[in-house]
Structure 1
Amino acid sequence: MAHPSKEAREPSDDDGSLRTAEQTRDVARGFLYVAAPGGRGEVDAVLLVVSELFTNAQQHAGGVTGFRMEAGPGTVTVAVDDASTVPPRALSLDVTRPGGFGWHLVQDLSVEVRVDVHAAGKTVTAVVPCPTGVTPQD
């Protein structure tokens, strides 16, 4: 079994913030290991949404300022906060140009996608179908 390097596992700041999409996927894998132990393909969809939302915030929205996951009945909710108030926009798909597929993937893999703009930036939330073993706490 391969283990990530110490640098890949450690957050960049003392506050525990995540620095890379790889670190964020590792955190998500740990969450899904508990929340969706039998998810298989659905878990891959959640990891792809996590990666795309994190990468989009890093590349296009001034960086990630928050990351949360929550298991619900048959779903996993992924929320990424960033520093920009500009909502994401879908680019026209062009196979001759690299990139531009992430927002389409997030929307295709999710049953619900919300963008909430607030004073400090925005939160992009995606609800992804995934068989979960965890029920929400009331």
Structure 2
Amino acid sequence: MARPPASTGASPSALHLGTGPATPAQARDEAHSFLSALVPRPSRESAENVLLVVSELVTNALRHAGGATALRFAADRSLLHISVWDSSPEPPRERTPDLRGYEGGFGWVLVRRLARSVAVTPCAEGGKSICVALPR
């Protein structure tokens, strides 16, 4: 699996996820715990962006890839790194957002807009990782 850069100020955190309905909530809880341990702490806006991106990535993995298989966080002096793995080799694709609110289509656009960088990498054992870097 691809690994994000080593952390500064807090240990990298990893959470292996299932496909139950609480998975996005578990992912947000793990992100909150990771962010709370960072010194110095990220700005409130950055922390909220991390929670939003984590929620979107894990929800998208559930909806489109059969579920997230792992989640990892890391931080360096200027960036917060989120990595989500799933078992589907298909890369995320942008869809036209449903302005009526029934079909979604906003998540991937939102992730890409908030991120400093996004990398989608096929995994040798199948599936893919999505690694997102956000400003700290």
Q: 1:37 aligns with which of 26, 35, 41?
A: 41
Larger radius of gyration: 1
Residue 79 (structure 1) aligns with: 83
- Give the counterpart letter for 1:17 in structure 2: H
TM-score of the aligned structures, taking structure 2 as reference length: 0.79
Q: Which runs of 4+ in 1 moved over 2 A?
A: 16-19
Contact 2:17 2:69 in 1 (8 A): no
| 2:27 alignment partner AA | T
Aligned residues: percent identity? 41
TM-score, normalising length: structure 1: 0.78
Tell me how many residue pairs correspond in the alignment: 115
Residues 120, 130 of structure 2: 8 Å contact kept: yes
> Which SS does the other structure have where 1:116 is aligned?
strand
Q: Quote the residue 2:126 is aligned against.
A: 120
2:8 is matched with none
Gaps in structure 1 of 5+ consecutive residues: 1-15, 131-138
1-structure distance, mates of 2:128, 2:107: 18
Contact 2:68 2:84 in 1 (8 A): yes
Determine helix, strand or coil for the equivalent of 1:70.
strand
1:47 to 2:51 alignment: yes
Distance 1:72 1:33 in 2: 15
Deviations along 1:38-74, whole A, 9 cap, x unmatched? Answer: 5211100011011101111111001111110000122
Provide the secondary structure at the position in 1 that maps to 2:47: helix
Paired position in structure 2 for 1:110? 115
Superposition CA RMSD, Å: 1.5
Structure 1 equivalent of residue 10 of structure 2 = none
2:24 to 1, 21, 24: 21
